[in-house]
């Protein structure tokens, strides 16, 4: 059944946890190139997020969905506070339920928009915007999310941004994610989907946004599908 991008990301769908777990567990040699690239991205990103969470008091993810990227850290680091912010009520509700089922008192959902994060200035150690979330923040939301990240980060804190950039893989990747793009535009680097668009920004384009919001690059990790960036407040 064909689903819109909104339905894929904004509903309470436990299957997404299983989808990513089985991708990571898959035998790399048996996967087609686009799935291998997706797997490499997820594994590299998960490792980096783990390192960032290990040294943090409070971690927040913008666009956390059902908490896929926060659940492993919440299990492993029980004294760290994990906050999952998302503007869609269904996934936030499911994340809270998953946390409750596992007895994870350190994982909490925040139903809010990234343009106005309901947290005080300098109150968190890590802001995470993993996978392709930055690319689906529309228009000005992208810049606002970084301004908000800069505002709530403590001095010495870190921002993580992941992103897909290799447009050559897009046409193969989307069907594997259950989506059918109506158009992939190499000029604008936008993938047009039913529900919303996804910007496959280059690493340099993302850095321009981040620098404008007051961040400097600390660490970069490239892979076939895209990049992982760790930035610090300037
Ligand atoms: C690509 S999904 C990623 C979900 C989750 N991080 C994952 O990997 O499973 C992006 C998420 O960003 C959320 N989102 C989009 N625009 C938002 C906004 N303006 N404020 C807060 N969340 C937003 C969507 O509801 C969606 O859950």
Q: Whose CA is nearest to atom 13 of ligand 1?
A: 63
Atom of ligand 1 minimally distant from the CA of 66: 9
Atom of ligand 1 minimally distant from the CA of 137: 16
Alpha-carbon dihedral angle through residues 7, 8, 13, 15, given to the nearest 10 degrees: 150
Residue 52 placed within a domain: yes
Residue 64 placed within a domain: yes
Instruction: Decide whether any atom of ligand 1 lies within 6 Å of the 174 Cβ.
Output: no
Alpha-carbon distance of 170 to 38, in angstroms, equals: 11
pLDDT cut 90: percent of the chain above it: 88
Atom of ligand 1 minimally distant from the CA of 132: 1
pLDDT band for position 1 (cuts 50, 70, 90)? low
**What's the Cα-to-Cα distance from 85 to each of 51, 102, 216, 231, rounded to whole Å?**
21, 19, 24, 20
Which residue range(s) make up the domain with 172?
5-195+205-233
Q: Does position 142 have pLDDT exceeding 90, yes or no? A: yes
Instruction: Decide whether any atom of ligand 1 lies within 6 Å of the 10 Cβ.
Output: yes
Residue 200 placed within a domain: no
Residue corresponding to tokens 């968190």: 124
Q: What is the pLDDT of residues 89-123, one digit of tens each?
A: 999 999 999 999 999 999 999 999 999 999 999 99
- Antiparallel, parallel or unpaired: β 226-233 and 153-164: antiparallel
Cut 0.85: pTM above it? yes
Give the SS3 label for residue 170.
Answer: helix
Alpha-carbon distance of 209 to 228, in angstroms, equals: 15
Residue 38 placed within a domain: yes
Residue 218 placed within a domain: yes
Burial 127-136 (b: 16+ CB within 10 A, else e): bbbbbbbbbb
Residue 229 placed within a domain: yes
CATH classification of the domain holding 11: 3.40.50.150
Question: To which H or E segment does residue 184 belong?
Answer: strand 183-185
Domain tally for the chain?
1
Residue 78 placed within a domain: yes
């Amino acid at each position: 059944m064909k689903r819109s991008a909104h339905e894929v990301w904004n509903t309470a769908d436990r299957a997404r946890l299983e989808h990513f777990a089985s991708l990571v567990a898959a035998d790399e040699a048996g996967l087609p190139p686009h799935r291998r690239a997706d797997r490499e991205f997820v594994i590299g990103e998960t490792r980096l997020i783990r390192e960032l969470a290990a040294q943090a008091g409070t971690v927040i993810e913008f666009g956390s969905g059902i908490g896929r990227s926060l659940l492993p850290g919440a299990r492993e680091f029980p004294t760290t506070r994990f906050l999952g912010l998302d503007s869609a009520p269904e996934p936030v509700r499911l994340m809270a339920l998953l946390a409750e089922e596992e007895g994870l008192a350190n994982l909490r959902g925040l139903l809010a928009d990234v343009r106005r994060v309901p947290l005080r200035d300098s109150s968190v150690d890590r802001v995470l915007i993993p996978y392709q979330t930055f690319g689906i923040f529309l228009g000005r939301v992208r810049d606002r999310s970084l301004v908000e990240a800069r505002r709530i980060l403590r001095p010495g804190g870190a921002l993580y941004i992941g992103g897909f950039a290799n447009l050559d893989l897009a046409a193969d990747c989307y069907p594997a994610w259950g989506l059918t793009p109506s158009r992939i535009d190499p000029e604008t680097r936008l993938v047009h989907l039913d529900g919303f668009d996804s910007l496959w920004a280059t690493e340099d384009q993302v850095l321009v946004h981040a620098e404008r919001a007051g961040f400097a690059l600390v660490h970069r990790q490239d892979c076939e599908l895209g990049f992982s960036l760790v930035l610090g407040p300037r």
